[in-house]
Amino acid sequence: MASRTKDPDPLPRLVHIGEIHFNLGEVTTGGVTPRGSFIFCPITGGHFTTVFPLPDGFGIHSEATEGLRAEVLPGGGDYPLIHNNELAELNVSVVAKGLNNDHIFRITSFGICEWNKLIFDMMDQTADARSTEMGEVNAWQVLRINTDSPEYAWLNWACIIGQERLIYENGRMATTHMKLFQFLVK
């Protein structure tokens, strides 16, 4: 039996740092482009929070004395391209304002959502339509945050990955909920 070679470099890890909810408005369908069908989904609000205290061994220094609580302001949206009615290439841009400070957080993200029976049931408003749980749909986003907040300046350089679930209410996909994880290399 051949011996296994151990990678001498430490493996990166994911650290849970917060959550974000986007409340979704009425979808507008656009035309077909060479890369897919264009739609627009307004984000009408939501909230963004960080955990506190930050997990032990957290890799970036933070001056935060409490967890972030921020309101996602109306006016942003998701501008996805739909490929072959099987996959949404997500492209989100929103602004959040701190509730425990007056700082602004510009949040942009890209990612994918593979469409499966759960997604089609929501879109078609079938009797089987329901909210998803984390991991039921391959839906993830990579987020970039830019802020003027000294306490949360570390977010400006953080590599953040969101695992997404979709919430079905009142006969439509009403909210997306993401658990946010920072990708750390040490």
Residues 66-86: tens digit of each pLDDT: 788 999 999 999 999 999 888
Q: Please provide the size of the chain in residues.
A: 186
* Other beta carbons less than 10 A from residue 175's beta carbon: 18
Copy the structure tokens of residue 186. Answer: 């040490």
Q: Are 27 and 40 in contact (CB under 8 A)?
A: yes
**pLDDT at res. 47:** 96
User: What domains sit in the chain, N to C, each tagged with a CATH number?
Assistant: 13-184 (2.40.160.20)
* Other beta carbons less than 10 A from residue 130's beta carbon: 14
With CA atoms as reference, report the closest residue to 159 among 109, 105, 87: 109
- With bands split at pLDDT 50, 70 and 90, how would you rate the model's confidence at 2? low
| Mean pLDDT score across all residues of the chain | 88
**Among 70-79, 132-141, 150-159, which is the least confidently predicted range?**
150-159
Give the mean pLDDT of 135-139. Answer: 91
Taking only the tens place, the pLDDT of each residue in 27-65 is 899 999 998 999 999 999 999 998 876 665 554 555 656
With CA atoms as reference, report the closest residue to 148 among 100, 96, 104: 104
**pLDDT at res. 95:** 97
Look at 123 and 47; give whichever has higher pLDDT: 47
**pLDDT at res. 59:** 43
**pLDDT at res. 55:** 62
Q: Is the pTM of this model over 0.75?
A: yes
- With bands split at pLDDT 50, 70 and 90, how would you rate the model's confidence at 153? confident
What are the Cα distances from residue 50, in Å, to 19, 88, 147? 6, 27, 14
Q: Are 108 and 93 in contact (CB under 8 A)?
A: yes
